[in-house]
Structure formats: C-alpha cells, structure tokens
Amino acid sequence: MPLTVVVGGWFGDEGKGKVVSYLGLADKPGICVRTGSINAGHTVNYNGRTWKLRILPSCFISETTKLMIAPGALLKIDVLFREIEEIGSRGRVWVDANAGVIEDRHVESERSNEYLMKVIGSTGQGVGAAMVDRVLRVLKTAKDFPELRELITDVSREVNEELDRGGEVIIEGTQGTFLSLYHGTYIRNLQGHHAAGVISEVGVSPRLVSDIVLVFKAYVTRVGAGELPGELSMEEVIARGWAERGTVTGRPRRAAPFNMDLARRAVMLNRPTQIAITKFDVLFPDARGRRRWGDLPVEARRWLENVSEVLRVPITLIGTGEDSMDMIDMRREVMGP
C-alpha cells in the first residue's frame, strides 16, 4: 500500500509539479490527490507542451490515474472546469463533497482589502476569505453546487480503499513548509503545508504513509513579501540565471542560494524519507538533460552528496531540465526495490 506524500521545503515554487508529474509517469499511481488551493500554481512540461495548474493534480499526464481534490482543499469552479478541458481529463476528475468553494465575493473581499494586498502581499485569489468562512462554518462546499454533482465522491474513502487493495496513491502538497500558518514566516505566509498538514487534508492515517518526498529547488525563491535569508539583489539573480515569475501571480520571484539551515528545519518538520532537487541544471548547466547519475559532472555529484550527508536524507530524484522526464531517478539504487 504505497502512499507517497510530496511537499515543498522552501516557500513554494520548488518544482513539486515537475516531481509529481514525473512520479505519475514513472509509477502510474491509481489515485493522485491535490491539496491546498488555487493560489498555488504547479507547472508541468512534457513533450513540448506546458500546463500551469492551479487545482488539478500534476499526475494528470498518467492517463490511468484518477485525479482527486481533497476535502480540505479549496477550489474555484471556473478554474476547475477550465483545467479539466485544458488537460482533457473529463471523466477521471473527482471532488470531495466537503471541498470548499471560493466564490467571487471572496475574491472581491480580498482585493478590496488594502492591508491584505499591500502589507501581507496576498495573491488576491479569495483563499484567505474562504478559509475565514470555513472556520465560521458558513463556507459552501462542493456538494452545494449542482454543476459539481457528477464529480462528487468521498475522497478519503476512495484513497483508503485504494491503499487497502495494495494500490498506489500520491498526495501532492502545495506551496511550501515555510508558508505554513503555524510553522512559516507568520504573518507573511499563506495556507502552506508540511507533510502532516497535507495528509490531514486528505483524511488518511500517518501510519499509511510509505514515503515523504521533500522537494528543494537548487536555490531558494519566494514571491511577495516576507523574510528570505541570504536574499540576492535582482541584478545578481538575473546574472545567475535564476530570474523567475510566479505561476499564478506573474510576480518576480526573489532568490537566494541554497540555505542549509532552512533545509535542516524543513527536514525536522517533515521527516522525509527522500529528497528531490529541482532546477539542478540551472545551478549546474552541464547537468542539463542528464538522466543518469554517472553522467553528472563531478562537482555536481559532490554538491548533491554534501547536501544529502548534511541533511541525513537520501537524494533520490534530481531534476535536470524542464520536461517531466528530465529526471535522474535514484530510488531503486538508494532505497532498494
């Protein structure tokens, strides 16, 4: 009953979409569940095409995988149906009856709040306002909307039954550890996730988790306000080739070198069994497109070995390009069959 949880180790933007899309292609799980909400975008590149998802799981490339939205997630109906059409997944997308629904009034409430937009740096997607309504027990959920009726299922039951049958499930966390309301850089954070929060949104026991994959980009990025230790000037970011923009907001991402202290804390909070490193080819251009460990430059291998040794967690997945399949997969060599 392999249950894999994928979570981000920084402030979001770690490349979880790439990792989950690769795992979808490589492992073909029976179910892939997305948590979080529409303020977190995941980018998937495969066979020359690019998708930017805000609610559907990045496993969609595996055509046999059921795609599910967790009961603890928040969705927006127009975003959901647009993505279903864009990726051609009609018939295999399922939404839990208790998944929260963001309405236009939530978006309007946030965007008219100067404190949220200018001080906190809200994405203005209505997520925070909807979460307030959830806590107050006045938020409408998926079961309240006739247009969602054909997609409704009990995601917690479906996931647990799949695991009981010996099937494979992937849970895709959103944002990152240090955007957590409880463990992040409060007050400038979001509905960020660490591993325990992710599985709680879905409704599975921690005892069922087989692997926790903690995703680190080879450097640290952050969108919007909030502390970023070791932050580089935008001129230096551009010079290093690290300039990026947020998937949802389009805002420029601030950047800093890989931070071992933050990484240690992320490991402490998530207790991963494996680490994935993305954008490795940006840090080491000679690694671009490599798909075998032995093809990496010596200095690149030393960098990875040092990170793994310091964090005391094996690095099993190394992203070496934009395409989902540009991945060095060391799971079998490191973890065994």
Peptide bond into 187 cis (omega under 30): yes
- Which three-class secondary structure string do you get for 179-233? HCCCCCCCCCCCCCCCHHHHHHHHCCCHHHCCEEEEEEECEEEEECCCCCCCCCC
- Using alpha carbons only, give the angle 229, 231, 234 rounded to the nearest 5 degrees: 165
Active-site position among 13, 133, 323, 326:
13
- Read out DSSP for 67-127? EEE-TT-EE-HHHHHHHHHHHT-TTSEEEETT-EE--HHHHHHHHT-HIIIIII----SSH
Cβ contact 95:153 at 8 Å: yes
Phi, psi of 36 (to 5 degrees): 75, -145
What is the separation of C-alpha 127 from the centre of its chain, rounded to a whole number of angstroms? Answer: 16
Among candidates 216, 124, 225, which has minimal Cα distance to 177?
216
Half-sphere exposure of 22 (CA within 13 A, CB side): 27
Euclidean distance between CA atoms 266 and 268, whole angstroms: 5
Which 8-state DSSP code applies to residue 141? B
Active-site position among 27, 42, 96, 193:
42
End-to-end CA distance of the chain: 14
* Catalytic status, residue 42: yes
Half-sphere exposure of 317 (CA within 13 A, CB side): 28
What is the separation of C-alpha 183 from the centre of its chain, rounded to a whole number of angstroms? Answer: 17
List the catalytic residues.
13, 42
